[in-house]
Amino acid sequence: AMSPIDVKFTVPQEFAGKLKRGDEVSVITPNAPGQTHGARVTVVSPVVDPSSGTFEVQARLADASAGLLPGMTVNIRVPKTK
């Protein structure tokens, strides 16, 4: 079995306070655009980068056999907020 893989990404500041630890996000790899993989948010930075207006989030993908390799670029879909 493969070990879990952590995915780091930045999110616009409008999501501050809306994305929390334990939330599920979808990971989409460019080499398999039709496939999505669930990942759980493990870290939400409390600081917004003033130059980009974003903050960093980390999520853990339990099944790294999804064709993901360290350093790859992926797309992240976050749940719609109310």
pLDDT digit of tens for each residue in the chain (82 aa)?
A: 567 889 999 999 998 888 999 999 999 887 777 788 899 999 999 999 999 999 999 999 877 666 777 788 889 998 876 5
User: Which of 26, 28, 27, 16 shows the shortest CA–CA distance to 81?
Assistant: 16
CB 64 within 8 A of CB 5: yes
In sequence order, what are the residues at sequence separation of 6 or more whose Cβ sits closer than 8 angstroms to the Cβ of residue 43? 21, 56, 57, 58
Beta strands in 23-74 (DSSP E): 24-28, 36-44, 54-61
- Tokens 């670029």, residue? 73
